[in-house]
Structure 1
């Protein structure tokens, strides 16, 4: 089969012939129709991710058709159109992942290939209203933001939500989910164009975080926030405490802008603010997300689509952070 192979840190992908995966008990082989990029792929390529190994086929997100099964009792799955849950071996606790947990695309070969093998419990029927490209755009970023909003923050209809960094995959999905749930959504972004794009998705307004007084600008637009979703951290994280409502929930994942800064603990305990970390999702979260997407007939935002062999061009777009929505690869 053909695949995009990363053979070392900071190298270009090589599009080449590799061995097709060999199935073991409990696994299925999916013929990939589309796969999407995540910031995780970028950090692995840069060599700034834990557990690096080379060569590796990256890609956590994918949709396709079941091409083979190991166990005969799963024969009914053949030719089904599926979406892949990249959260492998979560474990039995809804609150946190097991020691065996990992994400498809490292250490196991991922979806940037014509075929990928996954545990049978990690495939789900593709929502009928989504194309393969749209379905492939959802898993990693969509799941992370869904868990942050609903499993962690317990978002309710009518609450005020701030989503940091409009334009990134997780942030774009968070806007879609929060708007569909009936929340009042505001965003921050690095430029006005992405704020306008967020408003077209249903966000009420936003501010440019490059402005020194962006936190005060937010307070001129809304009295305060009940839920804040942050995927960057860094020094700006401390400003969230300037506009939290009593009982607010701040959920974060990732740390592209740095670590947690010093925080005013008095505000945290007096307003009874919760600061919650999250990563990936449980199987239950994935099932709930698919139901949510089908109930609201949501279509993810796809910024651009490339062919698998043009994966280096797609990665360049991600490196420049010029996209709004997901970058997707299609497989012939």
Structure 2
């Protein structure tokens, strides 16, 4: 019997006591602590479940660029066997932080499978040629709420539509929070919608698990312009930090503009978040229920901010 293929460490030696990845001669990546496996031919295995796709299963559409982010580009494709359109997200795995982000993303996508207001995935695979991971996600044909805002040309979303959008955002967020997960990067770009009227949260790459014994988080990640005051201050934070971010998004969709108009530096943002009065919708122009809802979200006192 031939010896098993040699495994090469791809993380720093000092990290071996916690989360270490390894890679064998076939290019398959394995996360030693969780048993997560990412390969070219067998797709992704997570917590004993297999999510199989290979490069040959996906046909990318020409000039189908859907977006780009810190991880890489998102392209439109089709699963050949079923004809289902997908958004193929590229996730770079060339350093430890990006590999851990991939693991978080997979964990979030698996957790999302039970909720209609979280973007679902089909599977993923490792590209041996480029050493990146491709994840096939549910395709949302109207793009993000940031694109919706652009299409409206400075006008806000009418309240009767915004109430429907908000209900779906909160349903997705409530599901994550019940799973003890923070999203940590809620913004218009990370909320997608389609022609069926569905609204879904996406991008779980920096989502954070909070188990029953660790109720707070302390890391500074996410998009700072939608960040809650407690996170801006560097304090511990929990589920209420996502609620603040929702309030920022709803304010922006209501008015057609970001709540703080003169953000030119982080100190200015800090002043708005931590010292100046919280953003408030004008009750002369918006329904009382909308004004009240957004005020609850954009409350600096964490103890008064409601749960999802």
TM-score, normalized by length of structure 2? 0.30
Structure with greater Cα Rg: 2
Tell me the TM-score normalised to structure 1 length.
Answer: 0.28
